[in-house]
Amino acid sequence: MSGIITSKNIDPSLIHLQKNNTKSYWQIVWGRLMKNKGAMAGSFILIFFIGAALLAPVLAPFPIDEMKMENRFLPPSLDHLLGTDEFGRDILSRIMHGGRISLMMGLVAVSIAGITGVVLGVISGYYRRIDIYIMQMMDILLAFPSLLLAIAIIAVLGVGLTNAMIAVAISVIPSYVRVVRGAVLSIREKEYIEAVQALGVSDFKIIVKHIFPNVLSPVIVLSTLQFGTSILAAAALSFLGLGAQPPTPEWGAMAYVGKSFLLQAWWMSLFPGLAIMLVVLGFNLLGDGLRDALDPRLK
Protein backbone atom coordinates (compact mmCIF):
# COMPACT_ATOMS: atom_id res chain seq x y z
CA MET A 1 0.00 0.00 0.00
CA SER A 2 1.16 3.48 -0.66
CA GLY A 3 2.07 5.70 2.22
CA ILE A 4 -0.09 8.48 0.90
CA ILE A 5 -3.53 8.95 2.31
CA THR A 6 -5.27 11.98 0.98
CA SER A 7 -8.58 13.29 2.07
CA LYS A 8 -10.00 12.49 -1.36
CA ASN A 9 -9.66 8.72 -1.37
CA ILE A 10 -11.00 8.11 2.12
CA ASP A 11 -14.60 7.37 2.87
CA PRO A 12 -15.86 9.96 5.43
CA SER A 13 -17.41 7.24 7.55
CA LEU A 14 -14.03 5.58 7.82
CA ILE A 15 -12.46 8.76 9.10
CA HIS A 16 -14.92 8.72 11.95
CA LEU A 17 -13.97 5.13 12.69
CA GLN A 18 -10.26 5.91 12.60
CA LYS A 19 -10.61 8.62 15.20
CA ASN A 20 -12.31 6.38 17.72
CA ASN A 21 -9.89 3.54 17.22
CA THR A 22 -6.86 5.50 18.29
CA LYS A 23 -5.47 3.98 21.44
CA SER A 24 -2.75 5.49 23.55
CA TYR A 25 0.06 3.33 24.85
CA TRP A 26 -1.46 3.13 28.33
CA GLN A 27 -4.82 1.97 27.01
CA ILE A 28 -3.08 -0.89 25.23
CA VAL A 29 -1.17 -1.81 28.37
CA TRP A 30 -4.37 -1.76 30.42
CA GLY A 31 -6.05 -4.12 27.96
CA ARG A 32 -3.11 -6.51 28.16
CA LEU A 33 -3.07 -6.38 31.95
CA MET A 34 -6.75 -7.26 32.20
CA LYS A 35 -6.06 -10.45 30.29
CA ASN A 36 -3.27 -11.53 32.64
CA LYS A 37 -4.72 -13.99 35.19
CA GLY A 38 -1.82 -13.73 37.63
CA ALA A 39 -1.99 -9.96 37.69
CA MET A 40 -5.74 -10.05 38.24
CA ALA A 41 -5.38 -12.55 41.11
CA GLY A 42 -2.71 -10.32 42.64
CA SER A 43 -4.96 -7.28 42.25
CA PHE A 44 -7.83 -9.03 44.02
CA ILE A 45 -5.62 -10.01 46.95
CA LEU A 46 -4.38 -6.42 47.19
CA ILE A 47 -7.83 -4.88 46.86
CA PHE A 48 -9.01 -7.22 49.62
CA PHE A 49 -6.20 -6.25 52.00
CA ILE A 50 -6.24 -2.55 51.15
CA GLY A 51 -10.02 -2.50 51.57
CA ALA A 52 -9.77 -4.29 54.92
CA ALA A 53 -7.09 -1.88 56.11
CA LEU A 54 -8.94 1.23 54.97
CA LEU A 55 -12.24 0.12 56.49
CA ALA A 56 -10.67 -1.27 59.65
CA PRO A 57 -12.17 1.36 61.99
CA VAL A 58 -15.65 0.47 60.68
CA LEU A 59 -15.36 -3.25 60.07
CA ALA A 60 -13.07 -4.47 62.83
CA PRO A 61 -15.19 -6.53 65.25
CA PHE A 62 -13.27 -5.52 68.40
CA PRO A 63 -11.20 -2.54 69.57
CA ILE A 64 -7.50 -3.24 69.11
CA ASP A 65 -6.35 -2.30 72.59
CA GLU A 66 -9.11 -3.64 74.78
CA MET A 67 -7.59 -6.22 77.10
CA LYS A 68 -9.80 -8.97 78.49
CA MET A 69 -7.89 -11.35 80.64
CA GLU A 70 -10.63 -13.99 80.54
CA ASN A 71 -10.23 -14.16 76.74
CA ARG A 72 -6.47 -14.82 76.69
CA PHE A 73 -5.16 -17.31 74.11
CA LEU A 74 -8.55 -18.21 72.67
CA PRO A 75 -8.15 -20.35 69.53
CA PRO A 76 -9.93 -19.29 66.32
CA SER A 77 -13.68 -19.53 66.81
CA LEU A 78 -16.82 -17.87 65.53
CA ASP A 79 -16.47 -15.12 68.14
CA HIS A 80 -12.84 -14.45 67.38
CA LEU A 81 -12.28 -15.65 63.83
CA LEU A 82 -8.52 -15.62 64.14
CA GLY A 83 -8.27 -16.13 67.88
CA THR A 84 -6.96 -13.82 70.60
CA ASP A 85 -3.51 -12.96 71.99
CA GLU A 86 -1.91 -13.00 75.40
CA PHE A 87 -3.95 -9.99 76.55
CA GLY A 88 -7.23 -11.26 75.10
CA ARG A 89 -7.18 -8.84 72.13
CA ASP A 90 -8.85 -9.94 68.91
CA ILE A 91 -6.22 -10.90 66.30
CA LEU A 92 -8.46 -10.25 63.27
CA SER A 93 -9.07 -6.66 64.38
CA ARG A 94 -5.38 -6.17 65.06
CA ILE A 95 -4.43 -7.55 61.65
CA MET A 96 -6.92 -5.22 59.97
CA HIS A 97 -5.50 -2.21 61.78
CA GLY A 98 -1.96 -3.50 61.34
CA GLY A 99 -2.53 -3.54 57.59
CA ARG A 100 -2.77 0.23 57.68
CA ILE A 101 0.68 0.47 59.24
CA SER A 102 2.29 -2.18 57.06
CA LEU A 103 0.86 -0.85 53.80
CA MET A 104 1.69 2.70 54.83
CA MET A 105 5.29 1.66 55.54
CA GLY A 106 5.51 0.13 52.09
CA LEU A 107 3.96 3.19 50.46
CA VAL A 108 6.20 5.69 52.23
CA ALA A 109 9.36 3.64 51.67
CA VAL A 110 8.61 3.11 47.97
CA SER A 111 7.66 6.77 47.45
CA ILE A 112 10.83 8.11 49.08
CA ALA A 113 13.04 5.58 47.32
CA GLY A 114 11.21 5.93 44.01
CA ILE A 115 11.42 9.72 43.80
CA THR A 116 15.03 9.89 44.96
CA GLY A 117 16.03 6.93 42.84
CA VAL A 118 14.39 8.21 39.65
CA VAL A 119 15.94 11.67 40.01
CA LEU A 120 19.41 10.25 40.69
CA GLY A 121 19.02 7.65 37.94
CA VAL A 122 17.96 10.18 35.31
CA ILE A 123 20.80 12.55 36.23
CA SER A 124 23.23 9.68 36.20
CA GLY A 125 22.08 8.36 32.84
CA TYR A 126 21.68 11.71 31.08
CA TYR A 127 24.65 13.66 32.41
CA ARG A 128 27.42 11.15 31.99
CA ARG A 129 30.02 13.28 33.77
CA ILE A 130 28.28 12.92 37.13
CA ASP A 131 27.44 9.30 36.43
CA ILE A 132 30.54 7.72 37.92
CA TYR A 133 30.15 9.50 41.28
CA ILE A 134 26.49 8.61 41.74
CA MET A 135 26.99 5.03 40.64
CA GLN A 136 29.95 4.46 42.93
CA MET A 137 27.89 5.68 45.88
CA MET A 138 25.13 3.28 44.83
CA ASP A 139 27.63 0.45 44.49
CA ILE A 140 28.73 1.06 48.07
CA LEU A 141 25.11 0.89 49.24
CA LEU A 142 24.54 -2.25 47.17
CA ALA A 143 27.53 -3.95 48.74
CA PHE A 144 25.56 -4.38 51.98
CA PRO A 145 22.66 -6.82 52.20
CA SER A 146 19.62 -4.55 52.33
CA LEU A 147 18.38 -5.72 55.73
CA LEU A 148 21.84 -5.28 57.22
CA LEU A 149 21.99 -1.79 55.74
CA ALA A 150 18.57 -0.98 57.19
CA ILE A 151 19.67 -2.23 60.62
CA ALA A 152 22.81 -0.09 60.40
CA ILE A 153 20.74 2.98 59.50
CA ILE A 154 18.38 2.31 62.41
CA ALA A 155 21.39 1.97 64.69
CA VAL A 156 22.26 5.52 63.68
CA LEU A 157 18.76 7.03 63.62
CA GLY A 158 17.26 5.14 66.55
CA VAL A 159 14.47 2.59 66.87
CA GLY A 160 10.97 3.51 65.70
CA LEU A 161 8.39 3.31 62.94
CA THR A 162 9.45 6.45 61.03
CA ASN A 163 13.12 5.55 61.16
CA ALA A 164 12.31 2.04 59.96
CA MET A 165 10.56 3.53 56.91
CA ILE A 166 13.53 5.77 56.15
CA ALA A 167 15.94 2.87 56.60
CA VAL A 168 13.96 0.66 54.23
CA ALA A 169 13.69 3.50 51.72
CA ILE A 170 17.44 4.11 51.70
CA SER A 171 18.20 0.44 51.22
CA VAL A 172 15.86 0.36 48.19
CA ILE A 173 17.20 3.50 46.44
CA PRO A 174 20.14 1.80 44.65
CA SER A 175 17.89 -0.63 42.78
CA TYR A 176 15.86 2.30 41.43
CA VAL A 177 18.96 4.21 40.38
CA ARG A 178 20.32 1.18 38.55
CA VAL A 179 17.10 0.43 36.69
CA VAL A 180 16.39 4.05 35.75
CA ARG A 181 19.96 4.77 34.70
CA GLY A 182 19.99 1.70 32.46
CA ALA A 183 16.72 2.71 30.83
CA VAL A 184 17.86 6.31 30.33
CA LEU A 185 21.14 5.15 28.79
CA SER A 186 19.27 3.16 26.17
CA ILE A 187 16.71 5.89 25.47
CA ARG A 188 19.13 8.82 25.18
CA GLU A 189 20.75 7.07 22.22
CA LYS A 190 17.42 6.84 20.37
CA GLU A 191 17.04 8.99 17.31
CA TYR A 192 13.98 10.78 18.64
CA ILE A 193 16.10 12.23 21.42
CA GLU A 194 18.64 13.36 18.83
CA ALA A 195 15.80 14.84 16.81
CA VAL A 196 14.61 17.05 19.67
CA GLN A 197 18.21 17.98 20.44
CA ALA A 198 18.55 19.02 16.82
CA LEU A 199 15.44 21.17 17.30
CA GLY A 200 17.13 22.87 20.25
CA VAL A 201 14.71 21.70 22.95
CA SER A 202 16.14 22.29 26.44
CA ASP A 203 17.59 19.42 28.49
CA PHE A 204 14.91 19.81 31.15
CA LYS A 205 12.11 19.48 28.60
CA ILE A 206 13.81 16.53 26.94
CA ILE A 207 14.06 14.75 30.29
CA VAL A 208 10.50 15.52 31.39
CA LYS A 209 8.69 15.03 28.09
CA HIS A 210 10.74 12.47 26.22
CA ILE A 211 12.91 10.49 28.60
CA PHE A 212 10.76 10.22 31.72
CA PRO A 213 7.61 8.77 30.04
CA ASN A 214 9.79 6.14 28.43
CA VAL A 215 11.44 5.02 31.68
CA LEU A 216 8.11 4.99 33.48
CA SER A 217 7.23 1.39 32.68
CA PRO A 218 10.27 -0.23 34.34
CA VAL A 219 9.76 2.15 37.28
CA ILE A 220 6.14 1.03 37.69
CA VAL A 221 7.11 -2.63 37.62
CA LEU A 222 9.96 -2.09 40.04
CA SER A 223 7.76 -0.07 42.40
CA THR A 224 5.15 -2.80 42.54
CA LEU A 225 7.75 -5.44 43.30
CA GLN A 226 9.57 -3.18 45.77
CA PHE A 227 6.28 -2.51 47.55
CA GLY A 228 6.19 -6.17 48.54
CA THR A 229 9.88 -6.24 49.43
CA SER A 230 9.57 -3.07 51.53
CA ILE A 231 6.61 -4.42 53.47
CA LEU A 232 8.57 -7.58 54.11
CA ALA A 233 11.66 -5.62 55.17
CA ALA A 234 9.61 -3.36 57.42
CA ALA A 235 7.93 -6.40 59.00
CA ALA A 236 11.32 -8.03 59.44
CA LEU A 237 12.63 -4.93 61.20
CA SER A 238 9.59 -4.89 63.49
CA PHE A 239 10.05 -8.61 64.10
CA LEU A 240 13.59 -7.86 65.21
CA GLY A 241 12.22 -5.18 67.51
CA LEU A 242 13.68 -2.30 65.50
CA GLY A 243 10.53 -0.96 63.89
CA ALA A 244 7.03 -0.69 65.28
CA GLN A 245 6.95 -1.29 69.02
CA PRO A 246 4.22 -3.22 70.90
CA PRO A 247 1.39 -2.53 71.50
CA THR A 248 1.26 -1.06 67.94
CA PRO A 249 -0.56 -3.71 65.89
CA GLU A 250 2.08 -4.06 63.16
CA TRP A 251 2.22 -7.46 61.45
CA GLY A 252 5.91 -8.06 62.02
CA ALA A 253 5.66 -6.96 65.64
CA MET A 254 2.60 -9.22 66.18
CA ALA A 255 4.48 -12.20 64.76
CA TYR A 256 7.37 -11.35 67.06
CA VAL A 257 5.18 -11.32 70.17
CA GLY A 258 3.47 -14.54 69.08
CA LYS A 259 6.83 -16.26 68.75
CA SER A 260 7.06 -16.62 72.55
CA PHE A 261 3.74 -18.47 72.65
CA LEU A 262 4.21 -20.50 69.51
CA LEU A 263 3.47 -23.87 71.13
CA GLN A 264 0.43 -22.69 73.10
CA ALA A 265 -1.10 -20.21 70.61
CA TRP A 266 0.16 -20.80 67.06
CA TRP A 267 -2.48 -18.48 65.64
CA MET A 268 -0.81 -15.44 67.19
CA SER A 269 2.14 -15.69 64.77
CA LEU A 270 0.60 -17.60 61.91
CA PHE A 271 -2.10 -15.12 60.88
CA PRO A 272 0.03 -11.95 60.85
CA GLY A 273 2.66 -13.96 58.96
CA LEU A 274 0.05 -15.14 56.49
CA ALA A 275 -1.11 -11.55 55.96
CA ILE A 276 2.47 -10.48 55.17
CA MET A 277 2.88 -13.40 52.80
CA LEU A 278 -0.37 -12.77 50.92
CA VAL A 279 0.25 -9.05 50.49
CA VAL A 280 3.79 -9.65 49.24
CA LEU A 281 2.48 -12.38 46.93
CA GLY A 282 -0.21 -10.00 45.65
CA PHE A 283 2.36 -7.33 44.83
CA ASN A 284 4.67 -9.83 43.16
CA LEU A 285 1.88 -11.26 40.99
CA LEU A 286 0.76 -7.79 39.99
CA GLY A 287 4.35 -6.74 39.34
CA ASP A 288 5.04 -9.74 37.11
CA GLY A 289 1.81 -9.09 35.21
CA LEU A 290 2.71 -5.43 34.76
CA ARG A 291 6.16 -6.37 33.52
CA ASP A 292 4.61 -8.59 30.85
CA ALA A 293 2.01 -5.99 29.92
CA LEU A 294 4.60 -3.22 29.62
CA ASP A 295 7.16 -5.30 27.76
CA PRO A 296 7.75 -3.53 24.46
CA ARG A 297 8.82 -6.77 22.78
CA LEU A 298 5.23 -8.00 22.96
CA LYS A 299 3.91 -5.00 21.08
- By beta-carbon proximity to another protein, the closer residue of 79 and 194 is 194
Q: Which of 94, 178, 181, 210 binds another protein (CB under 8 A)?
A: 210
Residues numbered 122-151 forming contacts with another protein, rule: CB under 8 A = none
Q: Which is nearer to another protein, 24 or 263 (CB)?
A: 24
SS3 assignment for 123-177: HHHHCHHHHHHHHHHHHHHHHCCHHHHHHHHHHHHCCCHHHHHHHHHHHHHHHHH
Binder among 35, 68, 209, 259 for another protein (CB under 8 A): 209
Cα–Cα dist 247/135, whole Å: 41
Question: Under a CB-based contact definition with an 8 Å cutoff, are residues 258 and 251 in contact?
Answer: no
Among 111, 190, 208, 262, binds another protein (CB under 8 A): 190
The whole-angstrom separation of Cα 226 and Cα 71 is: 38
Q: Least Å distance between CB 18 and another protein? A: 6
Tell the smallest beta-carbon distance from residue 13 to another protein (Å).
Answer: 12
Residue 1, interface with another protein (CB under 8 A)?
yes
Query: Shortest approach of another protein to residue 152 CB, angstroms?
Result: 27
From 284, 296, 291, 207, select the one nearest 45 (Cα to Cα): 284
| E strand or H helix at 33 | helix 25-34
Q: Give the residue with the Cβ less far from another protein, 12 or 158.
A: 12
Cβ-based nearer residue to another protein, 6 or 156: 6
Burial of 87 (0-12, 13-18, 19+ CB in 10 A): middle
Range in contact with another protein (rule: CB under 8 A) among 70-78, 80-88, 193-201, 260-268: 193-201
Asked whether position 152 contacts another protein by CB under 8 A, the answer is no
Pick 5 or 55: Cβ nearer another protein? 5
Q: How far is the CB of 192 from another protein (least distance, A)?
A: 5
| Phi, psi angles (nearest 5°) of residue 90 | -75, 125
The yes or no reply on residue 19 touching another protein (CB under 8 A) is: yes
Least distance to another protein from the beta carbon of 41, Å?
29
- What gap in Å lies between CA 214 and CA 250, rounded to an integer? 37
The answer to the question of residue 69 lying near another protein (CB under 8 A) is: no
In sequence order, the 6+-apart residues with CB closer than 8 A to the CB of 116 are 169, 173, 176
> Measured from the CB atom, is 22 or 78 closer to another protein?
22
Distance of closest approach, residue 183 Cβ to another protein, in angstroms: 13
Q: CA–CA separation, 288 vs 251, rounded Å?
A: 25
Distances (CA, A) of 223 to 213, 218, 279: 15, 8, 14
Residue ranges that bind another protein, judged by CB under 8 A: 1-7, 10, 15, 18-19, 22-25, 190-192, 194-201, 209-210, 213-214, 299
